[in-house]
Amino acid sequence: MATGFVIATDTVSPLLSYLRGRLSPEQQQGFLLAWGRGVAVQAQRNAIAKGGRHLWRDLARSVNVRSVGPDGVEVFSDHVAAPQKQFGGVISAPGKGPGSHGARALTLPIKGSRAEGRLVGEFTAAGEKLFVLGKKDGNRGGILCATGADGAPEHLFILVKRTKPQAPQPWFPDDKTVAEIGEHFAQKKLAAL
């Protein structure tokens, strides 16, 4: 499911209304696409500014713009984490259903461990053998470990079925910023007429 919003020529702003009256339908569509690309770039910048090694960069790369008819464009992300990051909520392991990749648990890196800021796949790609200590099911039941240099288990990830509700971390531009970007592109378009 995509997360995003539609930008339309019926957006109320004196400058944008004036511009709409001056442009042909084809010029309006070109203007809307430029405006949408400007908003997409801002969303990408916002995501990258959040930091991290993978997720926010992946979210930034997932932002797209598409036409939704002669009077609008949609700026959206179809990344699976986009709605959760934008609006908050609980993250759950997808389970064994179709399209779930078979994940029965989420892997949360243990703070201060080698896993902090890394993904399980980085360990397995490097050839490390990981194993579970404790329950293999149930919320907060198990710990994903590697064998340490001394032969003892090295605790890397906590396995959970779902997280506590996560606070939103909005990264799409707010309405005010979208309007400001639109007015910037409108000024440029009017100057070119």
How does pLDDT run across 76-127, given as a tens digit for each residue?
A: 999 988 988 999 988 777 655 444 455 677 888 899 999 988 888 888 888 8
Query: Which secondary structure element, helix H or strand E, spans residue 39, and what is its range?
Result: helix 25-49
SS3 labels along 169-189: CCCCCCHHHHHHHHHHHHHHH
pLDDT of residue 193: 77
Cα separation of the two ends of the chain: 39
CA distances from 50 to 43, 46, 47, 59 (A): 11, 7, 5, 11
Burial 174-193 (b: 16+ CB within 10 A, else e): eeeebbebbbebbeebeeee
113: amino acid identity, one letter: S
Three-state DSSP state, 130: strand
Tell me the sheet residues that pair with 166.
89
Q: What is the mean pLDDT of the chain?
A: 83
70 neighbors 20 (Cβ within 8 angstroms):
no
Please state, in angstroms and rounded to a whole number, the distance separating the CA atoms of residues 135 and 138: 7
Q: Is the pLDDT of residue 182 over 80?
A: yes
The answer to whether the predicted template modeling score (pTM) of the entire model surpasses 0.85 is no
CA distances from 135 to 132, 154, 159 (A): 8, 17, 9
Q: Is the pLDDT of residue 142 over 70?
A: yes
Tell me the sheet residues that pair with 109.
157
Please state, in angstroms and rounded to a whole number, the distance separating the CA atoms of residues 126 and 157: 16
What radius of gyration do the chain's Cα atoms show? 23
pLDDT of residue 12: 59
pLDDT of residue 100: 42
Which of the 8 DSSP states describes residue 166? B
